[in-house]
Structure formats: structure tokens, C-alpha cells
Amino acid sequence: MSDSDTVVARHKGFIGSFATADVSVMAEFLTEDHVGMPPGRPQIVGRAGAQEFWREGFSTGDTEFTSHSQDITMAGSIAVDRFRWDMVVTPHDGSPAIEDTGKCVWVWRRDPDEEWRVATAIWNSDRSQPTPWTGG
């Protein structure tokens, strides 16, 4: 399997673990020094910070998330993964579902154990109003 194919498979693996809200498995897709840059919020540092962010997001409602690859650029032990996403959050409090779309860039890095992990993630919503996962 090529490095590009491996990154695509890892991306799909992360999305699969997101679908089950398994923050422990999701964290395995991140580097130890991961930095996440969500809209309207301070940056997220490290796996523990990401897990806290995800738990907060999942606590607001059931979340369906899909991604649509636009481009993957490989450069040695770095890969830039650019994609669009769609999300529907059905709040636990019974209020109407919230639909959101946006764009994202993940910078993958091959770690010393040869596993590809997301070192940096930045995403933005196309909505003008924040949602639970995008600064709301």
C-alpha cells in the first residue's frame, strides 16, 4: 500500500471511530504533540486536549459526520489532507437538528513507529453562526 493510500485509510479509520464517539480510538490517530485549531476557540494541544474537546462536542448531541476528500499532497513523511465535511448534530435536549458544512486541512506525519498520525488540524464552518463543534 502506498503512503497516500495509507493516509486515506487512516482518515477513514478516524471517521469510523468518530461515528461511534470512541474518543480513545480517535486519539490514536493523533500525534502526541497534536495541535487542533477549531473556529472561535483557543487551539487544542495534545491528545488529552483533543479528547476533552470531543467529549464536550459529543455531550451536546448525536453527531453524524462525513468527509469528502479534495486533495492529498505527499511530501516525504508529511501529508497534507484537504477535505470538505458535512455534519448533523441532533441535540440531546430535543431541540431541532443543526446542519453544518465546512472545510478542513489535516497535516499528517509519519511517527517514528511508522504510523501516520494527524499532527495539525484546522477547520472552519461555512455557517455564519457557530455550532456545538465550531465555536458554539
* Domains observed in the chain: 3-125 (3.10.450.50)
Look at residue 40 in the predicted model and tell me its pLDDT: 87
The pTM assigned to this predicted structure is: 0.94
Q: What is the pLDDT of residues 36-78, one digit of tens each?
A: 999 989 999 999 999 999 999 999 999 999 999 999 999 999 9
The four Cα atoms 56, 41, 130, 16 give a dihedral, to 10 degrees, of -50
